Chain A
Amino acid sequence: MKLYSLSGHPTLPCNVLKFKSTTIMLDCGLDMTSTLNFLPLPLVQSPRLSNLPGWALKDGNTFLDKTELIDLSTVDVILISNYHCMMALPYITEHTGFTGTVYATEPTVQIGRLLMEELVNFIERVPKAQSASLWKNKEVQRLLPAPLKDAVEVSTWRRCYTMQEVNSALSKIQLVGYSQKIELFGAVQVTPLSSGYALGSSNWIIQSHYEKVSYVSGSSLLTTHPQPMDQTSLKNSDVLILTGLTQIPTANPDGMVGEFCSNLALTVRNGGNVLIPCYPSGVIYDLLECLYQYIDSAGLSNVPFYFISPVANSSLEFAQIFAEWLCHNKQTKVYLPEPPFPHAELIQTNKLKHYPSIHGDFSNEFKQPCVVFTGHPSLRFGDVVHFMELWGKSSLNTVIFTEPDFSYLDALAPYQPLAMKCIYCPIDTRLNFIQVSKLLKEVQPLHVVCPEQYTQPPPAQAHRMDLVIDCQPPAMSYRRAEVLALPFKRRYEKIEIMPELADSLVPLEIKPGISLATVSAVLHTKDNKHVLQSPPRPIQPPASKKRKRVSDDIPDCKLLKPLLSGSIPVDQFVQTLEKHGFSDVKVEDTAKGHIVLLQEAETLIQIEEDSTHIICDNDEMLRVRLRDLVLKFLQKF
């Protein structure tokens, strides 16, 4: 069993597991941090950006961070754990010759589609006059200013996919529900389990009859909107692959939400605007819910909240219809009936308004001071670019970073100098290291496999030994482009016995609780299922002599030697030898067993755990006599 790691980003994993003749890709996250090397794509012509000297407005800016470690056309299935971890799907399904199936839950697919749609929309609505790719040439790249010249494998960076590719990729997905068992070629069974992180997010169990691999990716034990994490089903795993822990282990989400609210209130009180660069789904639901409870106490009832995204409307509405994927509290609301999320009420009372973009209705209804939620969190494209340009000059305004995927300092770099206040409140509800160690104690996997980043403290906090996975035996780590042999051997395979064959067996109890029977049968293997069937009836001996001779040769009809079992107690054996007239018996202990020496007869009996040898010179009589004495101690059947 092998694990191929195709991604170096622990929260945007892409691993391929080869297990029992199946090739399973676990997630295909898209690492977009390299967009930070580019200038923002402004919605309206920005004199500031276009007048920058040098390398302005050069190239497309979507990238695929993969290596040719494995032929992706051989991948049988792709299991998706959450909508953030499927953003590279079109690159794989559309350009690699992939012919398999993708499995994901319905909310994952729907919201994943929204994220992709938003991304494509952000890129396509600002088409570029020219594109450059020559700079990717190593010789040219070397001459570029930092950090571009230090960027690794720029040749693998790709243009953003199109909506057509997205649709085609999504059409290959088969929807699954939690705890649904999916057979893969009869060899393994895969099952998604609730992971508690996002709507429809899942961990996966991949198991055969005797082996169980758990894939834990992006899980949360906090009480937020999704269904809580299913921990019990992860028990008794041979291997647990652990990815997608919190990216900010030192920040407690509760504290960050507090920080978010207080900073928002302080800014708005002073007449400033608040900008929140975010994804159109996920934490935004929880933030809106917190604000719903908070605005009255903070006297913010009259401040408008705007949510601007090409998919804002769908995102807010989707959240309300996936009731079965929500936490218990929200599920019960549906029966009242009430919308599970309070943002419905915010919309109804006109406190929250959503728009597809800054153009159109928004520009007519826009009032300040206000709070704007919009993408993209990298600050390189999307409507957020416009608000950064618009509000960056005033110290009354604040930008609050809540998404942990991008370094906020790097994201802000092209907007410097900036008068606007910047607050960093990363809210990452995924497991932290304390929760992981509790989880591992609870589910007790035999082996834990994780990205190498989780086995050493973050470089910036090298003394924080608490920020590593602590388990026994120590976790095995992998890094990008590494192939890891997973530490277990397959020992057993399940074989079915046909009823009529089973009927014919005569088990013999050799130890209390253990019975044995010999079986002669034909092993029939199809679709990774093994069946023992009765051997074909021996053909009736025909009359002709010639035929008879042929049938004599059938090895099946040869008399089978009995099978032996048991062990030889050396002391008793020696006594028996003496009783049968062998004197001068000497016993020597060896590493593997004993050697019984019959000095007079110049004979040696070597008794080991699974074999006994009688070594004597050309005295067949003696050998047979001794053999029979040995056999007396063993059971035959």
Chain B
Amino acid sequence: MDIECSRLLPSVCAVLVDPKQFVADDTCLEKLLDWFKTVTEAESSLLVLQENPCLTELLFHVVKLQDVNSNILSFTLRLAGIFAAHENSFQYLQQGEVLLSLFSEAGPLSRPAWEDPSVRSGWIQGVGSMVQHERAVQFLCDCGAIDVIFSLQGDPSLFVASTASQLLVHILGFTMHSRRAVPLTTQDCDWPVCARMIVGHIEESLRSGTVPQITQALNVLTTLFGRCHESWTEVLWMRMNPFVGSLLEKEPLLAAHSLVDLFLSMARSPVFSHLECDLWILSTRALNRLSPTQSGPLALGILNLKDCPQTLRTKAFNILLQPLACVLQAASQPTGSPGLLDESLNDSVITDILLSSKSSCAGLLCQTLAHLEELQPMSHLLIDWPHVPLLSAVMTILRFCSGLATPASSVGDRLCGILIGCFRVQRSALDFLGTLSQGPSPSELIRGVVEILLVYLKSPDSSPTVLKKAFQATLKWLLSLSKTSTSSDLCPQTQHFLRDLFPILQKRLCSPCWEVRDSALEFLTQLTKHWGGRAGFRQALLSSEVPELAEDLLRDPESYVRASAVTAMGQLSSRGLCSNPIGTGSKNDEKKSLFLELLEILSTDSEGFPRRAVIQVFTEWLREGHTDVSKDKEQFVTKVLQVVSCDLDWEVRVQGLELALVFLVQTLGQHETECPYAVEMSSVTQSTQLTESLQMLCHMKLFDFIFSALCDCDRPVARKSCDILLYLKAKLAHHGSLQGSGEACTESLGTQNTAWLETTLRKWKARDQGQPSEVADRGDCQEPDDVLEVLRSVDLEGLRGTLAKSSDHIEKSPQSLLQDMLATVGILEENEADCY
């Protein structure tokens, strides 16, 4: 600890124990604890205590104070824990019996402050920090702290309860870890006292028959098996196995979710993952016993495991398929199509859940669909992933939800009544339908998929979120259809689909609901991105009103829609699908060019999203060499950057720099290192070209923009600018341009900071505006030499390092923290005075 901190510490401690002075900002206390933690890890904690007696006094004082602030009490408990983590400090504190008065039953437990959850949490954290050595464990056992932890497991505050459970895991893990040399049996006598207490408590809880206690015990075991993969955990499991097993026999099944968590946590532990483990037997039993909604997560977890018995996997997969099989059966699908499950389905439990209420039906179906969606990417690993029946099942659900189905069975009728208009199920089903586009589907089913998607896209009753999902699923299916077609253009089926789709898209683009307009635009953007080059698509799009409607949405009242319209129009224009050429100088045209329209949004739109979208579109146009932009790149970039430089949104400015970088790379070429096989040009030609390019860039005032960005108050902007300049520097250094001129500058090479740069920029600006200044005689315009001078003078690497650090790195020292704490106390008093 440095001297300055040692000097400030007593005053801070005095503030903390003074009940009249209140530390308003409790993050200070957290920071202080963090600092003490680093201090005690770096140097001897005992020495810190001895050299700063104010700390021990603080602990003593707080123990004695009756009406201490609960934040301070919590802080003190945690502070004591941090010091007691080291054995010698522990002993030092023990001598004064501070620890006893803080952590034993005679301590804060008996005070009113204990009612405050932050104090209980502080107590637990203090104990947790302390348990780093045997003495601490012994101390806790002796002073009755373990029993307190047991009771805190059922604390009304969930934070406290959960930390208490984790603390038990920590203590048990630590105790057993330190005894690992001794071979262990299930016999009680082999276990250390503390571990015996904890294990006994867990066993008792599992036997108790009350849900909260069983849940607590199972949670401790779950956390333990999840964190600790040592061999003793297997012995522990041998002790627990009968209790957990008997839980599975109970009627009704208690704490089912916690059981699932436990099995999954164990299954992921290498200790239990061998195929002979009895865990698999228990899991199979659990799958049989749990209700369908409870068994779903277990089944999914099992299927996600790398190694587990095949029979269990099959069982788990069947569990997941059951609700959908039930739906298929209810819809009385023609028996010609393969069923989902081989065995005839006779599970009335699932039917009961599906028919009992709307919420339970939707809950089970949504969960099942989400689980299967998660499994789909691994479908190749599952031996028989029933792609086709799954597709029929999800289509059936979608038909039920839209009221299209005419089921023949009474179960189907009732299911239909429950599901009609259920948005939750519609969303999940559409998600899953989209996922199922990845897989071989017979053409008659594809026809069905197209039909159902069109129904959802068309239906006025589709809510905006359902519609968004329908658009996403449609996109996935369209793309998968085009993948399967062998010719370069779209297959007739897709063409047909598109013909139906565009009128719907047109209508959706006119919707009074902005979310709908927005998702329609997003869909259009994506589709154009993938298919912009395909003749069939181009024809269908151009024969519709979609491009004009999208263009009109550039003036939408909702900023998100404007942003999406900008992106869509950018994409359409790149693919030559825009009726309106973007020609940069078409002011005389009857209709405003798209470029001017977007530029106007960039300069005048009051919202950030559309402006960000515009600058992204411009960057994209430049990057991919949009034909209209390529005609006069310089003018394009100059105009855009002129607008961007005044933008208040830092994201727009960063994107503007990206545009500048793209232009620079296109003008000066890639980093040399990036392409070692590029054909080298003669150095003379290169340097001539380089000088010309620099001249042009100066003329465009590109460097003005980049340099002012370097001084930007928003760090990301400055960082981006710094990166560009470093690229430029590397580029110029490669050609030797940087050494060429001005020996006078070499002395200050790489030492100037941004303040210098700002002054320089101001000078340039003054010069440009023709105002008299010191350097006015040097010329009218910014010269390449000026740029080179800056590149030489500013310490860009250093600047990049500084900018990479977080903004508070200067103020983050412990010293400033202590000063801050002292200062805020003063300010608080002043403020109070002001109030009166």
A residues in contact (CB < 8 Å) with B: 250-252, 255-259, 261-263, 265-266, 269-270, 290, 293-294, 296-299, 425, 434, 461, 463-466
Contacts and interface: CB of A to CB of B under 8 A. Distances in A.
16 contacts: A258-B511, A259-B507, A262-B507, A262-B510, A266-B507, A266-B545, A270-B545, A293-B512, A297-B512, A297-B514, A425-B460, A434-B421, A463-B405, A463-B413, A464-B416, A464-B417
B516 A299 contact: no
Given A250-B461, A251-B461, 20 more contacts: A250-B403, A252-B460, A255-B459, A256-B460, A258-B460, A258-B511, A258-B512, A258-B513, A258-B516, A262-B511, A269-B510, A269-B545, A269-B548, A294-B512, A298-B552, A299-B552, A461-B403, A463-B407, A464-B403, A466-B420
Given A425-B460, A466-B417, A290 B512 contact: yes
Nearest to A269: B545
Nearest to B464: A258
B420 A252 contact: no
Contacts of B460: 251-252, 255-256, 258-259, 425
Interface in B513-534: 513-514, 516
Contacts of B403: 250, 461, 464
B506 interface: yes
Interface string B388-422: 00000000000000010111000001101110110
A425 B512 CA distance: 14
Contacts of A298: 510, 512, 552
B555 A463 contact: no
Given A250-B403, A252-B461, A256-B460, A465 B413 contact: yes
A256 B417 CA distance: 22
Nearest to A290: B512
Interface in B418-444: 418, 420-421
Contacts of B653: none
The 8 lowest CB-CB distance pairs between A and B, nearest first, are A255-B460, A466-B417, A262-B510, A265-B510, A259-B460, A261-B512, A255-B461, A262-B507
A252 B414 CA distance: 21
Contacts of B461: 250-252, 255
Nearest to A464: B403
B753 to A, nearest CB: 50
Nearest to A291: B512
Nearest to B556: A297
B110 to A, nearest CB: 49
Nearest to B414: A465
Given A251-B460, A259-B460, A299 B416 contact: no
A298 B506 CA distance: 12
B155 interface: no
A251 to B, nearest CB: 7
Interface residues on B, range: 20 to 34
A576 B460 CA distance: 83
Contacts of B669: none
Given A299-B555, A464-B420, A266 B413 contact: no
Contacts of A465: 413-414, 416-417
A263 B462 CA distance: 16
B414 A257 contact: no
A259 B511 CA distance: 7
Contacts of A269: 510, 545, 548-549
Contacts of A425: 460
Nearest to B553: A297
Interface in B482-510: 506-508, 510
A294 B514 CA distance: 10
B558 interface: yes
Contacts of B556: 297
A396 to B, nearest CB: 13
A307 B662 CA distance: 57
* Majority secondary structure of chain B interface residues (helix, strand, loop or mixed): loop
Contacts of B514: 297
Contacts of B513: 258
B557 interface: yes
Nearest to B557: A297
B139 to A, nearest CB: 60
Interface in B448-497: 459-462
A463 B406 contact: yes
Nearest to A297: B557
B416 A466 contact: yes
Contacts of B548: 269
Contacts of A299: 552, 555
Contact of B508 (A250, A255, A262, A293): A262
A362 to B, nearest CB: 28
A256 B512 CA distance: 11
Nearest to A462: B406
A542 to B, nearest CB: 81
A276 to B, nearest CB: 16
A261 B511 contact: yes
B652 to A, nearest CB: 24
A266 B510 contact: yes
Nearest to B549: A269
A72 B406 CA distance: 46
A297 B518 CA distance: 13
B558 A297 contact: yes
Contacts of A252: 421, 460-461
Nearest to A256: B460
Interface string B549-584: 100100111100000000000000000000000000
A263 B507 contact: yes
Nearest to A434: B421
Nearest to A298: B510
A227 to B, nearest CB: 25
Contacts of A259: 460, 507
B228 to A, nearest CB: 51
Contact of A255 (B406, B462, B552): B462
Contacts of B416: 463-466
A266 B508 CA distance: 10
Nearest to B408: A463
A261 B407 contact: no
A293 B549 CA distance: 18
A256 B545 CA distance: 22
A250 B416 CA distance: 14
A10 to B, nearest CB: 21
Contacts of B512: 257-258, 261-262, 290, 293-294, 297-298
B808 to A, nearest CB: 44
Nearest to A263: B507
A263 B507 CA distance: 7
Nearest to A295: B512
A296 B507 CA distance: 17
A269 B509 CA distance: 13
A241 B768 CA distance: 85
A556 B26 CA distance: 90
Contacts of A255: 459-462
A293 B513 CA distance: 11
A262 B513 CA distance: 10
Contacts of B507: 259, 262-263, 266
A252 B423 CA distance: 13
Contacts of B414: 465
Nearest to A461: B403
Nearest to B548: A269
A421 B378 CA distance: 49
B417 to A, nearest CB: 4
Contacts of B516: 258
Residue of A252, A269, A461, A463 with most chain B CB atoms under a 10 A cut-off: A463
Contacts of A294: 512
A296 B557 contact: yes
A256 B459 CA distance: 10
A255 B508 CA distance: 12
A318 B507 CA distance: 34
Contacts of B420: 464, 466
A168 to B, nearest CB: 44
